Amino acid sequence: MLKLKKRIIPLVLIIILSMTIPIQAAPLKVNDISDLMRLIQEDYFFDVSQQELLEGAMRGIFYPLDPYSNYFSNEEYDTFSERNAGSFAGIGVSLSEFEGALVIDTVMAGGPAEKAGIKAEDRILSVDGKTIEEYGIVELVRFLKGQPQTRVKVEVKRAGIEQTFSFEMTREMIQIHPVTYKVLENDIGYIKIDEFIEKVSDDVDKAVEVLIKAKVKGVILDVRNNPGGILDEAVNVADIFLPKNTPVVYIEYKNKSQEVLFSRKEPWKIPLVVLVDKGSASASEILAAAIQESKVGTIVGTTTFGKGTVQMVDELTSGGGLKLTIARYLTPKKNWIHGKGVTPDIVIENPKKSSIPDFAPMDEERDYTEGQKGLNVYGAQQRLIYLQYKDVKATGIMDDGTVMALKALQAANNVKEKHGVLDIETRDTLNNRVIELHKQILEDLQLKTAIEALHN
């Protein structure tokens, strides 16, 4: 019976797909795209505008080109321009893809997401009812954006809690701050550059000045997962560290003519390490290669992405825009890293990201005392074992070992009542401690190695 069904289905499909009008005797004469567009508008059964056909044709023209050349619709071009300018309308979160899910990495202070109660590590399940399964991650990210003062509903899953949470908020103009800095232990300066948008080099220059005034012993530039951006900004950041009149990058055009961009000012003289990984691309690679080949700093991490081409972005008078690869770039030693990437001086990988174990839910809004049994108790015992509390077994019963472990947890975390009862506050504290421990397990070995490199 199963084999028979397998044979019938293709026959049905063939019948459906072959319901077409017989081919005309004379072939159609189509000399160019305008002929094809006219034919479609005259004979195509459904409604389609000339603008829609034109946009489709524009996208089609870019199809055989490299992945970095593409056409922008009006909306796409506006989003692209806003991003480079450092602002966009949204809810104020940074996101990453992990195990097929859309995970919130950081929640921007004062933004709509923070005000609503969304937290880092939350997984986005849907946006205005639209799910990842239906639309995919890229579309879901796009749905989070929109016009300022418009409403959006986001459903999330929180680690360690079975139920989902829905938050409704109003989109606002979010200012992007791609440069952050701080002083690490042992007086090491740390600067993170998320992407090379407008005026990033000014922010990096100010950060270096502040850190040097704080008498740091060296600076770590972190461009991990930095996809690139504006070439001039990468050159300007390199200018902060490279000796004056040092080549930063060569630009080679189709006619083989070359343009070389030099550093133009006296640098900050300070020990330097640059952190890179597979997500460091384009402008990030220009910076890393310039510092490496000029021997003004040490590169630490894993081999970079390997994008060695330059794109020009133009706005179209008809609306939208286009991005076209017009050149390739070469490092100061005239190496083309396209498809190869920049190999660090010190190669080291970070532990692979892993998810928190799939514990039993603790959704019951009630307290559990010694001798009682329940799913909350079983989930609490699993978490206590993960936190390495002794004499705890996952039985679902509040035994002596569980009570003693809960008392120790309550004392260590300043829980109001330290009586060994599994109450709501203790449950939430237990969940938070699991998340904190999970973050600690994923130690940043690359950053640790960068700090050690500055001490040597």
Q: How would you write the pLDDT of the chain (456 residues) with one tens digit per residue?
A: 223 333 333 333 333 333 555 555 567 676 778 888 888 888 888 888 888 888 888 888 888 998 889 888 887 788 788 777 777 788 988 777 777 788 887 788 788 999 999 988 899 999 999 988 888 776 788 788 888 899 999 999 987 787 899 999 999 988 778 899 999 988 999 999 988 999 999 999 999 999 999 999 999 999 998 889 899 999 999 999 999 999 999 999 999 999 999 999 888 889 999 999 998 999 999 999 999 999 999 999 999 999 999 999 999 887 889 999 999 999 999 999 999 999 999 999 987 766 677 788 887 888 999 999 999 999 999 999 999 998 999 999 999 999 999 999 999 998 887 789 999 899 989 988 888 887 767 778 899 999 999 987
Q: What is the pTM of this model?
A: 0.69
CA 105 to chain centre: 8
Cβ count within 10 A of residue 89: 17
Residue of 141, 138, 139, 156 lying closest to 90 (CA atoms): 141
Task: Out of 69, 201, 282, 284, pick the active-site residue.
Answer: 282
Please state, in angstroms and as integers, the Cα–Cα distance from residue 388 to each residue in 161, 381, 422, 434, 437, following that order: 20, 10, 18, 11, 11
- C-alpha 267/C-alpha 196 separation (Å) is 20
Pairing of strands 321-330, 247-253: antiparallel
293 catalytic residue (yes or no): yes
Strands of 25-117, DSSP E: 70-72, 87-90, 93-98, 101-107
Q: Are 74 and 51 in contact (CB under 8 A)?
A: no
**Helix/strand number for the chain, H first, E second:** 13, 19
